[in-house]
Amino acid sequence: MNSNEEFVKDKIQASYNSVQIVEGEDPPDYYVITNTKKILLEVTNIEDIYYDGVKIHNRITMEYGVGKICRDLNNLYSGKLSNNDSIMLYFQGPFFSTKKLENKLRIILKEITEQDQYPEEEKHEIEGGYVTIYRRGYIKDKIFGITGVITNEYTADIEYLAKLAISERILSKVDKMKKVPEDFYNGEMWLGLLNHSVLASNDTYIRVLKSLEIQHDFKKIIIVDTKGNISEVEV
């Protein structure tokens, strides 16, 4: 089991000190053993997302990808900028593919750095989003090279995004748990969620769960945040 799963398991074990939690066959991740029951416990992460109207995207993954692009481009081209200029890339996402985004930006920046003079501002439509390239003069004691700023055009309705995120997590685990033979347990399943969100608290997810209308077989859903705070709802 990975460290996140172990963290959630340990917090649930501490909260239910009268039960024993043992490793499962994946699926499930664990079994919760009581005096009368053998309960399936599946554990997963829940993270901030954004929704572009068509598809759910992992917000952390996209922002990490754009950060990596800026580091890679800076390593390639920062020494080739004329007069110690700096370039700032302003990303307006979401983007379909960060890999294709980086490849196209490499072509654009190669052309820019091969020019003696280049525009102070250029806007490019790439991979479903926009990247504006700003040329800035070198400022003493400031970083120069290639840097980036990202903004994602996503809905700011936190509870709506929480509903989408938790629905996706539940449905993905429903399919996985169908693989467990019924004679392996006593008909009860729990879902443990490690809440990595910086936008939605445990209480937000609990409110969403109480109004969720999707079909699933989890009798109890337990949410643990990264500080170890635990919340639960029986559904």
CATH label of the domain that carries residue 32? 3.40.1350
**Pair 178, 230 in one domain:** yes
**Pair 200, 148 in one domain:** no
Q: Which residues of 147-161 are buried (b: 16+ CB within 10 A; e: fewer)?
A: bbebebebeeeeeeb
**Pair 94, 70 in one domain:** yes
| Structure-block tokens of residue 43 | 């554990």
Cα 53–Cα 59–Cα 63 angle in degrees, nearest 5: 125
Greater model confidence, 123 or 140:
123
- Comparing 26-40, 118-132, 166-180, 192-206, which segment has the lowest mean pLDDT? 118-132
177 closest CA partner among 2, 29, 21: 29
Structural domain ending residue among the three candidates 152, 167, 195: 152
Is residue 147 within 8 Å of 88, Cβ to Cβ?
A: yes
State pLDDT tens for residues 220-233: 999 999 999 999 99
DSSP state for residue 24 in the 8-state scheme: -
Which residues on adjacent β-strands are paired with residue 40?
31, 189
**Pair 104, 135 in one domain:** yes
Name the domain count of the chain.
Answer: 2
> Is the bond leading into 181 cis (omega within 30 degrees of zero)?
no
Average pLDDT, whole number, for the chain? Answer: 81
Domain membership of residue 177 as a residue range: 3-47+157-234
**Pair 97, 128 in one domain:** yes
- pLDDT the model gives residue 142: 38
**Pair 164, 217 in one domain:** yes
State pLDDT tens for residues 63-81: 556 777 888 888 887 777 6
**Pair 91, 129 in one domain:** yes
Average pLDDT of the residues in 137-145: 42
Total-model pTM: 0.61
What's CA 229's distance to the chain center, in Å? 20
**Pair 195, 208 in one domain:** yes
Average pLDDT of the residues in 209-218: 90
Kindly state the percentage of the chain with pLDDT values over 70: 77
Structural domain ending residue among the three candidates 132, 152, 172: 152
**Pair 119, 135 in one domain:** yes
**Pair 60, 147 in one domain:** yes
Greater model confidence, 103 or 79:
103
- pLDDT the model gives residue 107: 92
Structural domain ending residue among the three candidates 101, 133, 152: 152
Question: What is the chain's Cα-based Rg?
Answer: 23
Helix 158-177 and helix 202-211: axis angle, to 10°? Answer: 70
| Structure-block tokens of residue 54 | 């068509």
